[in-house]
Amino acid sequence: MHDTLEAFAIQLIDLSHPEPDGSRRLIPERELCARLDVSRGALRERLSQLEYIGVLSRRQGHGTYLQAPGPDVIRTYFTTMRALGFLDSTEIAEAREMLETVVAVQAARRATAADAERLRALVDEMVACTAAGDHDAATEADLAFHAGLFRIVDNPVFTMVHTGLAYALQQAMHERRARAIAAETPDADGRTETDTIHYPVVDAIAANDPDAARDAIRRHFEIHSLITLDTAEEAPA
């Protein structure tokens, strides 16, 4: 049996049978022990490790299966890193900006008219909720907007990282958005730039214009950073 958990998982894939849902059913433990030349105790310890990270599931009465893991492990990693002080809101925001710049460009290349309309509806919801003073709902619409970009791109790697970051990102977004709203003066229609800066992103995606999408998402982050930076500098006074 290989030393690394990754190599062990690959060994198990070779000793399993494909299922229609994409998972793979393992052969019985007795056969696994014989094929891998390990004790049942050692095998079960490794299987438990894979189960813990979501790669393996035991279905009562059916058997043991290898499956694609969910984002729980990555989410736990980022959440714990933040709680321990090894990751702060600034670093999360920086990573988010770099990642979403790439994602916005790809979304512009792949988006349908329906995708763009869903994004526009979320910006409309942001605007309406902020004007009504429902900032929690506005933040949820904001988070849904950015998650929508990843949904359009539909790349498992980006989706996994974004979903894993979701909890830490949600906390950071609430903090930054609260500072931005506090710093801004709404226009005559009660709209804030924190919300309306999303419209150019939608327009670029609706036009399937990657360059405009890149410029719009960068402008979105620049405006948001300027607003929150000004608020942070004024706070001590």
Cα separation, 31 vs 177, whole angstroms? 56
Residue 229's pLDDT is 56
pTM above 0.85, yes or no: no
16 has which bridge partners?
26
Q: What percent of the chain has pLDDT over 70?
A: 93
The mean pLDDT value of the chain amounts to 87
Contacts of 175 (CB under 8 A, 6+ apart): 89
Dump the DSSP string for the chain: --SSHHHHHHHHHHTEEE-TTS-EEEPPHHHHHHHHT--HHHHHHHHHHHHHTTSEEEETTTEEEE----THHHHHHHHHHHHTTSS-HHHHHHHHHHHHHHHHHHHHHH--HHHHHHHHHHHHHHHHHHHTT-HHHHHHHHHHHHHHHHHHH--HHHHHHHHHHHHHHHHHHHHHHHHHHHH----TTS--HHHHTTHHHHHHHHTT-HHHHHHHHHHHHHHHHHHHHHHHHHTT-
Domains of the chain by start residue, with CATH: 5-66 (1.10.10.10), 72-234 (1.20.120.530)
Task: Indicate the range of 100-114, 169-183, 213-227 predicted with least confidence.
Answer: 169-183
pLDDT in tens, 62-77: 899 999 887 778 888 8
Average pLDDT on 83-111 reads 90
Average pLDDT on 123-142 reads 92
Q: What is the dihedral of CA 200, 206, 210, 211, to 10 degrees?
A: -40
Residue 201's pLDDT is 97
Average pLDDT on 136-161 reads 92
Residue 194 has pLDDT above 70, yes or no: yes
